[in-house]
Amino acid sequence: MAKTFQELMADLRKELTEIEPEQLAKMRSGPPEISLIDVREMDEFRQGSIPGAIHIPRGFLELKIEDRIPDRNTPVVLFCAGGTRSLLAAESLRRLGYGQVSSLIGGFRRWKDEGRDCETPAVLGDWERQRYARHLAIPEVGEEGQKRLLEAKVLLIGAGGLGSPAAFYLGAAGVGTIGICDFDVVDESNLQRQILHTTDRVGTDKTESAKTTLLALNPRLKVETFNERLSSKNVARIFEPFDVIVDGSDNFPTRYLVNDASVLLGMPNVHGSVYRFEGQVTVFWPGKGPCYRCLYPEPPPADMAPSCAEAGVLGILPGVIGLLEAVETIKIILGIGDILIGRLLAYDALKATFHELKLRKNPECAYCRSGIEFPGFIDYEQFCAVPSATAS
């Protein structure tokens, strides 16, 4: 005979484990580590939840649980507003083979009434949720990660060959604030690789051109432009408000200023360089790994540097390297994966190979060894007779 709802609930209460808020408070301080799941709807979750809770509305629970909690032996505590939906949800998880499931008696309402810790979770608006739906579908990004991206501030040094693809994808990914530092104007020969710019913008400032393109792609971005040449005078001021630097410069004076400022401010410096068919990418993050000066304490003298006249690059190559820089930037913001710290990834386009080299922190490094005072910025001379621009 079919059960009434009341009978069903009574049976579930006998068969399943329910816990008091007091017990949950103890379990949260572990061990063992528990997974806490808020099964309420989005509008309820948005108004406040228990810190650390994973939000999976009950309607999606069975669909998403294996992805979020692959180990069926994990202790799982479910809660809703009052303790009814979470009990029904617990039954579903039991059927899926989760062995240690419990439901919070009295739900979030009672938890909150008892004065226990609550937080208003980082949630996105409807526009963001639709726009970044494919990010939200990845557990490693999700709502929280997307929120981090939206709050992140990334500064691109150069809106050129490396900066263009990086800016495009960082903007598309929803990195909320993108700074662009470049003092050059768009030249027709840039367009072979610098995809932020267009033919009708030849002769206009690269920063403005980049801003136009990025805002067309994603009107909710905040794009800050610095139409100036990086120097010892302005580098700290320009860098200071940002979280991550993406170095896409094309000259040694800028490379060293970028490095030294990242050491001074303790900021990750995502480094890419290209030459003809070869490119390199790494992350210099002072405190966590070597800096650029650990590798190359000083720039080469003008007569030993590859001459500007013989330089050249396959247009797509900075595309590949700039995108690798963007990937590392996203990983840094999200705090996921193995970041390219202390590793140089070298790409050879003709051979279609990547190889990796280990980069060591130089214990004698004049800039990043511990316990030294910052030696100051240096304005190295440009090597090219003709003034060089910032972007590669």
- Residues in touch with other proteins (CB under 8 A): 160-162, 187, 189, 193, 248-252, 254-255, 272-278, 280, 295-300, 304-306, 308-313, 318, 344, 346, 348, 350-351, 355-360, 384, 386, 388-389, 392
> Residue 260 CB, nearest distance to other proteins (Å)?
15
Number of Cβ within 10 Å of residue 96's Cβ equals 13
Least distance CB 279 / other proteins (angstroms): 9
C-beta of 2 vs 350, nearer to other proteins: 350
| Nearest distance from C-beta of residue 243 to other proteins, angstroms | 23
Question: At closest approach, how far in Å is the CB of 386 from other proteins?
Answer: 5
Residues 132 and 374: their CA atoms lie apart, in Å, by: 41
Q: Which lies closer to other proteins via its Cβ, residue 25 or residue 349?
A: 349
**Closest to other proteins by CB, 312 or 337:** 312
Q: Which is nearer to other proteins, 47 or 192 (CB)?
A: 192
Least Å from the CB of residue 335 to other proteins: 26
CB of 299 to other proteins, least distance (A): 7
- Which ranges in the chain belong to alpha helices (H)? 5-15, 21-28, 42-46, 61-68, 85-95, 107-113, 126-131, 133-136, 142-151, 163-173, 206-217, 235-239, 252-265, 292-295, 316-334
* Residue among 91 and 183 whose Cβ is closer to other proteins: 183
Nearest to 54 by CA among 32, 73, 77, 22: 77
> 342-346 long-range contacts, Cβ below 8 Å, gap at least 24?
342/289, 342/290, 343/282, 344/280, 344/281, 344/282, 345/280, 345/281, 345/282, 346/278, 346/279, 346/280
Using alpha carbons only, what angle is made at residue 330 by residues 145 and 263, rounded to the nearest 5 degrees? 115
Closer Cβ to other proteins, 63 or 350, answer by number? 350
141 strand-pairing partners: none
